[in-house]
Amino acid sequence: MLNYRKDLEKMPSYDGVEKDYRIKVNANESTLNLPPLVEERVINRLSYVAFNRYPNEEYYSLVEQIAKNFSVDKSQILIGGGSSEIIEKIFHAFGGGDKTIVYPQPSFSMYKIYAKAAEAQAAPFDLDEKFDLNVDEFIKKIREVNASLAVVCNPNNPTGNALTIAQVEKIAASIDCAFLLDEAYVEFYGRSAVNLVAKYPNLIVARTFSKAYGMAGARVGYMIAQAEVTKMISKTFMPYHMNTLSLAAADIIYQMRDEFIPRIQMIVAERQRMAGRLSSLDGVEVFPSNTNFILIRLARAAELNEHLESLGIGVRYFSPDAAGLKNCLRISIGTRLENDEVFSTIKNFLEGR
């Protein structure tokens, strides 16, 4: 018997079983690879990567671009292997046996796992039946449990709804502990709270290249906070934790981020169209979304999920014990053709055809 760390066996794991779907709308990825012009520039950039050197220049070049875009100092930014790594490190920085971390549920399923990994107490706060966050009660809970860290995903995964920036500010202003705002889907919402970082020393905003910028495979994300906070969190990272290839690619993608605007607009328009069509189906509840996915609820969700799967369509089905998500399916927005096929398959299933 190998002598593993205490409780490692009981550690939950991410239940992302991946199959080879024909239409893959289960993970909120970009359905399209990079725009051809961007791809060409990325490939060209990769052709002169210094494989022999640790990634210093590439790291700071990206930091500089991001800092300039948000008019913040370079010392306020940390880059990570996806925002997943950033979030995990922040949980680590505010974790430990005597700490409590508060986050809404349902929300990103990894928060619970990161809290466990950081050996902190997880204190989930229930969203209401419409998946709205009662901000005052949330603030009350954060104070009651004397949390070290509060986390909000805005817009929220998997429910799709969002807090206003005024609500985000109210939370930041009302609590003393660290406040992590996970903005993984903010490009589809258009309202970021990054500008509040200058005013609130407890606010940390996490962003990613994985969703709107179609770079999930390269694993790049970043965080913005005040310099003292960034400095403390950076202690939890290994030196040279980012690889040059991902950094160089992200550097080009960030330079060319305007090339993604038409795509983001297409996804938003397609989301509206899909939400309208799905709402027209009997017995399907569609939750309003500010993201690149839609959450629906219907009595036969499990059955529909199996049906879609049998036809090579992968959506995200939540296990019946996922708090608040009984009979829910989350469907990422794909191309118009993909969305049409997903919709007609659901419609035919419900109409018994």
Ligand X SMILES: *Cc1c(COP(=O)(O)O)cnc(C)c1O
Is residue 208 a contact point for ligand X (CB under 6 A)? Answer: yes
Q: How, if at all, do strands 316-317 and 328-332 pair?
A: antiparallel
Q: Measured from the CB atom, is 180 or 277 closer to ligand X?
A: 180
Which of the stretches 46-54, 79-87, 129-137, 336-344 binds ligand X when contact is defined by CB under 6 A? 79-87
Distance CA 24, CA 20 (A): 8
Interface with ligand X (CB under 6 A), residue from 63, 93, 153, 267 = 153
Is residue 83 a contact point for ligand X (CB under 6 A)? Answer: yes
Q: Which residue in 324, 232, 287, 251 sits closest to 45, CA to CA?
A: 251
- Total residues contacting ligand X (rule CB under 6 A)? 14
Q: How, if at all, do strands 100-105 and 149-153 pair?
A: parallel
Q: Which residue in 7, 15, 2, 36 sits closest to 317, CA to CA?
A: 15
Which of the stretches 5-13, 203-211, 326-334, 339-347 binds ligand X when contact is defined by CB under 6 A? 203-211
Q: Taking CB under 6 A as the criterion, which residues in 214-243 touch ligand X?
A: 216, 221
Is residue 289 a contact point for ligand X (CB under 6 A)? Answer: no
Cα 223 from chain centre: 13
Q: Measured from the CB atom, is 219 or 277 closer to ligand X?
A: 219
| Distances 50 to 55, 67, 247 between C-alpha atoms, Å | 8, 24, 12
| In the complex, least distance from residue 43 CB atom to ligand X, rounded to whole angstroms | 22
| In the complex, least distance from residue 183 CB atom to ligand X, rounded to whole angstroms | 9
Residues 6+ apart with CB under 8 A from 348: none
Which of the stretches 77-85, 129-137, 274-282, 317-325 binds ligand X when contact is defined by CB under 6 A? 77-85
For 150, the token pair is: 């509060």
The residues binding ligand X (CB under 6 A) are 28, 82-84, 108, 153, 157, 182, 184, 208, 210-211, 216, 221
